[in-house]
Amino acid sequence: MGTLKLLQGNEACAEGALYAGCTFFAGYPITPSTEVAEYLARRLPLIGGVILQMEDEIASVGAIIGASLAGKKAMTATSGPGFSLKQENIGFGMICEVPIVVIDVMRGGPSTGVPTGPSQSDIMQCKWGTHGDHPVICLTPAYVQEIFSETVRAFNLAERYRTPVFVAYDEIVGHMRERIEIPDKGVLPVENRRRPTCSPSEYMPFDDTQGDVPPIADFFSGYRQHITGLNHAADGFPVNASPRIHTDELRLLRKVEGNRKDIIRYETVMLEDAEIVVFGYGVSGRSGKSAVELARAEGIKAGLFRPLTIWPFPAEEVAELASRVKAIIVPELSLGQIVLEVERCAKGRCEVEGIFRVDGDPITPDQILEKIKEVG
């Protein structure tokens, strides 16, 4: 039995980071994510870790990338406008394959929008926020317990695939308090990046003959290396006109897309005989679950698909559902973002209906139930 605690979602995120071995946090205060930093500010110094309040969000990502290159597990947390600012250096993390974790507690936008209101409208920014082609891993917990465990998983995936990983959840679960169990050390797996076993003179930071995820050496460990945000060759130095760019970009995509089975996680409820499926993540997934239970109580064959990994998108799973159900309902706190992905994967084989809300309140189970009846 681990430790039972009554925690807010943001605090559970901080606990998850500590469990995963995070010793370095840099951030810039912004509602509704600030509690992550505040919690870590009380805890990290006690374990010899570093907490830095930088001058802005751009600097925060720069600092955690620097720390990660020096071998630390590092994280930042933000919301809305701050997430936009972080995109530039997140792109650096992607092309240079630096393990970091970025928490985005979603609030309404664009711009300052609704700082205290919940939202799910950054989900496409997670996918496409930084320029250029790049793989994205983004996890979408819906419960305080899940924020804890998915933050641990985010660190593991960052280390395993040598890439930035997002955890995106809405203000509601970020600020909600629930009882959670923090497992004892060793109960949840905690992974560390693969480091080189060759000699420093043989080491190349992007050596694709070592597999799609080449080992990563720490700065100051004797493996002197050059890291650049320019497209680079296996040895880390710039290349600008070479088949290497193409093959390396494909490798970056492949290391995520090619490992979908390992990365994609979801919860399903009564999908076996479902005719109408609610596809919802985060707080909308919670409402979806209640709606499905209400519908079943009325004899309607409803089911739930609640993704815990939104990127890479569970495309095959949605395609399979679309081939055998009547309709997929997509509740989301935006004007319609992830519904586009669902439509893309459903390919017209079933009806896809969105429920969108951006007025600062969550989508209720009743709203979803009504839609279930409408399409049923």
Crossing angle for the helix pair 9-20 and 144-161, nearest 10 degrees? 40
Provide the residue type at 60 as one letter.
Answer: S
In the list 16, 27, 62, 215, the residue contacting another protein (rule: CB under 8 A) is 62
What secondary structure does DSSP assign to 54-119, as a single string?
-SSHHHHHHHHHHHHHTT--EEEEE-HHHHHHHHHHHHHHHHTT--EEEEEEEEE-STT-EEEEE-
Q: Which is nearer to another protein, 90 or 213 (CB)?
A: 90
- Interaction of residue 67 with another protein, rule CB under 8 A: yes
- Least distance in angstroms from the C-beta of 32 to another protein: 24
User: For another protein, which is the closer residue by CB, 88 or 181?
Assistant: 88
Site for another protein in 203-262 (CB under 8 A): 219-222, 224-230, 237-238
- Alpha-carbon distance of 258 to 248, in angstroms, equals 14
Q: State the minimum distance, in angstroms, from the CB of residue 138 to another protein.
A: 22
Locus of tokens 């495309």? 315
Return the range that interacts with another protein (CB under 8 A); candidates 61-69, 174-182, 271-279, 329-337: 61-69
Buried b (16+ CB within 10 A) or exposed e, 312-351: bbbeebbeebbeebebbbbbbbbeebbbebbbebbeeebe
Other beta carbons within 10 Å of 88: 16
Query: Does the protein bind another protein through residue 355 (CB under 8 A)?
Result: no
Whether 9 and 173 have beta carbons less than 8 Å apart is answered as yes
C-alpha span between 92 and 78 (Å, rounded): 18
Residues 85-114 that bind another protein (CB under 8 A): 88-89, 92
CA gap 173, 120 in Å, rounded: 12
| Cβ nearer to another protein, comparing 86 with 153 | 86
Contacts of 286 (CB under 8 A, 6+ apart): 142, 143, 173, 280
Based on the shown chain and the rule CB under 8 A, indicate whether residue 6 belongs to the binding site for another protein.
no
Which residues 6+ apart lie within 8 Å of 38 measured at CB? Answer: none
Separation CA 265–CA 263 (nearest Å): 6
Q: What is the Cα–Cα distance from 169 to 122, expressed in whole angstroms?
A: 10
φ and ψ of 337, to 5 deg = -115, -65
158 is a contact residue toward another protein (CB under 8 A) = no
Q: How far is the CB of 217 from another protein (least distance, A)?
A: 10
Nearer to another protein, 235 or 298 (CB): 235
Chain positions 300 to 339 lying near another protein, rule: CB under 8 A, are: none
Among 5, 38, 41, 66, indicate the residue that binds another protein (CB under 8 A).
Answer: 66
Closest separation between CB of residue 77 and another protein, Å? 16
Instruction: Tell me how far, at minimum, the Cβ of 230 lies from another protein, in Å.
Output: 7
Query: Which residue from 55, 272, 273, 359 is in contact with another protein, where contact means CB under 8 A?
Result: 55
Shortest reach from residue 114's CB to another protein, in Å = 27
Residue choice 37, 59, 94, 308 for contact with another protein (CB under 8 A): 59
Name the one range near another protein by CB under 8 A: 45-53, 154-162, 262-270, 307-315: 45-53
70 binds another protein (CB under 8 A): yes
Neighbours of 18 (CB within 10 A): 21
If binding is defined by CB under 8 A, does position 72 make contact with another protein? yes
List of residues contacting another protein (CB under 8 A): 24, 26, 45-46, 48, 50, 52, 54-56, 58-72, 74, 88-89, 92, 219-222, 224-230, 237-238
